[in-house]
Amino acid sequence: MEHPLVSIALCTYNGERFLKEQLDSIVNQTYPNIEIVVVDDGSTDQTWAILNEYAERYKSFNIYQNDVNLGYIKNFEKAIGLCTGDYIALADQDDIWLPNKIEVQVNEIGEHILIYHNSEFINNEGHSLNKRMSDIINMYQGDNFKAFLFFNSLSGHESLFKKELTKYSLPFPKEIFHDRWLAYTATNVGKLKYINQSLVKYRQHENSDTNILKLEREKVIITPNGKAKIEKTLSEFEVFASYKYNKDTAFIQQLLKLYRTRLNNYLCFRLIFFMYSNYKSLLFISKKSTVSKMNFIFKHIWGGKLKS
């Protein structure tokens, strides 16, 4: 039986604490044809030494280290660009993969350009938090890009995609997380498939790049409010609207136009009507009640001139 090459793009940065556990879960995958491409973003702890240790033990390991820190979005872009496989899977440095993760995804991807799965949350010690990704958001599958304009259901570590997607998704824009961008581009040029299996133990800890469970942390991340939040969303919509392969240019251009109007006005009735007319697509990923979704929409009535 033919087994196409799968490239695993792993990005590291000062990840010595959990790295060995993750690397062990990757090298012990049941799928027989894997290359592991690791790009370290200038770690100052023992991460690079650990990677060298594994590179000496496993022929499938290819390790690179950046001269300057790129940040994790551009670092993933670099790692993907170094992959040679027919399929590419993304990996974080602090999770734990189930042994059959890659095998299941390759067997299930079929005609879809990208496939992703559920995840189980674990704590620092690797103990289950008794919650899965699908418990907090709706996991989208299909080819409707509108689902990813406000929200995202795809985490990078859950994804495996055909190499051809890189032609349509690279380079990654700095304004949007790379996994959300992959979902957006994939739904414009193909279809997403979701499988309801938890194939990764998704570690939540103090230094995680995301805090999807909103756990209490000592380090407080400041998020934009008021007019700054409108400007941030507007910058995202400008990127979406400029995408070369949009299959419904009129829709995204209309949304962009109305959001620009929101920035410079007091009230935005046309934006509210537009969002309400498309809320089933735009707000599909949100797991909140219909009432909460309507509340989210009607908050957009307030323009930038009424916000600080």
Domain co-membership, 184 together with 233: no
pLDDT number for residue 220: 47
- Single residue among 170, 203, 236 that ends a domain in this structure: 203
Judged by average pLDDT, the poorest of 53-62, 90-99, 207-216, 298-307 is 207-216
Domain co-membership, 257 together with 173: no
Q: Residue 221 pLDDT > 60, yes or no? A: no
Domain co-membership, 33 together with 156: yes
Domain co-membership, 279 together with 181: no
H/E stretch holding 186 reads helix 178-189
Query: The domain spanning residue 52 has which CATH number?
Result: 3.90.550.10
pLDDT number for residue 217: 46
Is residue 108 one of the residues assigned to a domain?
Answer: yes
Tell me the whole-structure pTM to 2 decimals.
0.93
Question: Residues 157-163: what's their mean pLDDT?
Answer: 98
- The number of beta carbons lying within 10 Å of the beta carbon of residue 206 is 11
Domain co-membership, 170 together with 108: yes
Q: Which domain does 139 fall in, by range?
A: 6-203
pLDDT number for residue 208: 55
H/E stretch holding 121 reads strand 114-122
Is residue 212 one of the residues assigned to a domain?
Answer: no
Q: How far apart are CA 166 and CA 238, in angstroms?
A: 21
Q: Residue 218 pLDDT > 60, yes or no? A: no
Is residue 221 one of the residues assigned to a domain?
Answer: no
pLDDT number for residue 210: 60
pLDDT number for residue 212: 63
Report how many domains make up the chain: 2
For residue range 261-274, what is the model confidence (pLDDT) as tens digits? 998 899 999 999 99
- Single residue among 203, 236, 263 that ends a domain in this structure: 203
Question: Among 111, 123, 11, 28, which Cα is nearest to 69's?
Answer: 11
In the numeric block, the tokens 């993933």 are attached to: 76
Q: Residue 224 pLDDT > 60, yes or no? A: no
Question: Residues 189-203: what's their mean pLDDT?
Answer: 98
Question: Residues 44-73: what's their mean pLDDT?
Answer: 97
- Single residue among 169, 188, 203 that ends a domain in this structure: 203
In the numeric block, the tokens 């989210």 are attached to: 296
pLDDT number for residue 209: 54
Domain co-membership, 245 together with 168: no
H/E stretch holding 116 reads strand 114-122
Q: Residue 139 pLDDT > 80, yes or no? A: yes
Is residue 239 one of the residues assigned to a domain?
Answer: yes
CB crowding 241-251: b at 16 or more within 10 Å, else e: bebeebeeeeb
Is residue 219 one of the residues assigned to a domain?
Answer: no
pLDDT number for residue 227: 85
For residue range 226-262, what is the model confidence (pLDDT) as tens digits? 788 999 999 999 999 999 999 999 999 999 999 999 9
